[in-house]
Amino acid sequence: MTPPQIPPPRPVPEAAARRVVLVRAFLLLALLGNTACAMSGQIQERTSRSSVSLGAAAQHRGRVYGSAVSQQALEDRDFRSLLLQQVGSLTPENGLKWEVVQPQRGHFDFRQGDALLRLARRHGLEMRGHTLVWGQQEPPWLQTVASSDLGPILKAHIQMVVGHYRGQLRSWDVINEPISDDGSGLRRHRWWRALGPEYIALALEWAHQSDPGARLLINEYGLEAETPAAATKRRGLLALLRQLQRRDVPLHGLGIQAHLQAGPAPGRYDALAEFLKQVQALGLEIQITELDVDDRQLPGDPELRDRVVAAEYDRFLAAVLSNPAVRQVTTWGLSDRYTWLNSQAPRPDGRGQRALPFDEALQAKRAVAVMRERFTRATSATVSRGDRIATEQSTQKEADGIERADAVLLQQGILR
Ligand code: XIL
């Protein structure tokens, strides 16, 4: 059965806006002569640049800009219209997690996911699936289940949820945060305890059978920093990706969450860029899936925070958008009015986090200009909308570090 196609990207709305601006500029020119001509040129340039949405800027280079969205945010009309103006893709922030989708054993609730999908389709946007195996935001009933039942329960969940959206979601974060916090091995959550390391391959297989056209991702956090812990995590994850590929497990991409921290020293992303090259060499698509910049460590002054946060977006995007395998950038929210950081990582001074591109009043902050510029100047993506990724076999010689990481994981019985 051929799954229905995701509708093509909606037409870039600013083309019409630009025409209007041009006509106005022309009239002005006719009226005011040469001096006005130079001025209107500047105005036109400014107007058309600032009216380019983030989604349209990304689309110029074959990329997609998206945002996660919560149920609460969707009910805010002003926020919703900003969202629809800016993005090419939507991720349900919580709406497809276990606790929402299967609150009682065998009872599935797709209302939130379905509503988001309807909205996405109405506006020609893609929707991402998030997430199937994580170990968090799970319903209480799972705790009462015998370990031997967890395999069939996971299989049924994946078949039901992925099957429900078959042909309609371009990609799924099948496995969320598989590597332990210290990077030394796999996270020991209930799925690992019940099924062992094999849970990863099994979940990917079940998802693939349920929607053969969906791109299946492993999604991970804590990979960005230039710290020993992040380096260990990158090595471990790379080893895992290679192992899965060797076994022909259906895995199409890697999600980099990218919950960044703005600190006293600017973040450096050279090691991340190197890592992304290695992932690209495996023929995997890369998505930035949850980008935001936690400003907890910065002083209260909003202007200062906006400058530092924008600079962090700038450096990060410069590093990742130089890689053509990076197909999509999703921020974890769009406006500071709705950011998970205010509840999960509140600022000690009680002020709201300024972590996202738009502020609480839905006004564009400096980060928007920076992001737009980075999208516009980036090299074109090799993975464009709707294309199946070419599985380019890695010809890269395995680096010593990766081999060592493999060995460590093998010793721990993480990989077969
Ligand atoms: C967060 C949501 O934003 C919150 O609303 C919720 O309370 C907790 O989860 N990594 C992930 C996301 O993969 O699913 C998390 O989302 C943020 C961290």
Q: Which residues are catalytic?
A: 177, 290
Per residue in 152-185, pLDDT (tens digit) is 999 999 999 999 999 999 999 999 999 999 888 9
Highest mean pLDDT among 31-35, 131-135, 181-185: 131-135
CA 70 / ligand 1 centre spacing (Å) = 10
Ligand 1 close to Cβ of residue 289 (< 6 A): no
CA of 219, closest atom in ligand 1: 13
Q: How far is CA 263 from CA 318, 345, 350, in A?
A: 18, 14, 18
Per residue in 337-394, pLDDT (tens digit) is 999 999 999 999 999 999 999 999 999 999 999 999 999 998 889 864 444 333 333 3
Per residue in 216-273, pLDDT (tens digit) is 999 999 999 999 999 999 999 999 999 999 999 999 999 999 999 999 899 999 999 9
Token pair belonging to 80: 């919703």
For a mutational test of ligand 1's pocket, the pick from 175, 219, 332, i.e. the residue with the most ligand atoms closer than 8 A to its C-beta, is 332
Per residue in 269-309, pLDDT (tens digit) is 999 999 999 999 999 999 999 999 999 999 999 999 999 99
CA 94 / ligand 1 centre spacing (Å) = 7
What is the Cα–Cα distance from 405 to 179, expressed in whole angstroms?
13
pLDDT recorded at residue 397 = 33
CA 86 / ligand 1 centre spacing (Å) = 21
Ligand 1 close to Cβ of residue 53 (< 6 A): no
CA of 130, closest atom in ligand 1: 14
pLDDT recorded at residue 40 = 38
**Residue with the larger pLDDT of the pair 326 and 42:** 326
In sequence order, what are the beta bridge partners of 133? 175
Sign of CA dihedral 398, 404, 405, 406: positive
Helix (H, G, I), strand (E, B) or coil at 49: helix
How many separate helices (H) and strands (E) can be counted in the chain? 15, 9
For a mutational test of ligand 1's pocket, the pick from 67, 137, 189, 221, i.e. the residue with the most ligand atoms closer than 8 A to its C-beta, is 137
pLDDT at position 70 over 60:
yes
Q: What is the DSSP string of 257-283?
A: --EEE--SS----HHHHHHHHHHHHTT
Q: Would you place residue 412 in the very low, low, confident or very high pLDDT band (cuts 50, 70, 90)?
A: low
pLDDT recorded at residue 183 = 87
CA 128 / ligand 1 centre spacing (Å) = 15
pLDDT recorded at residue 12 = 38
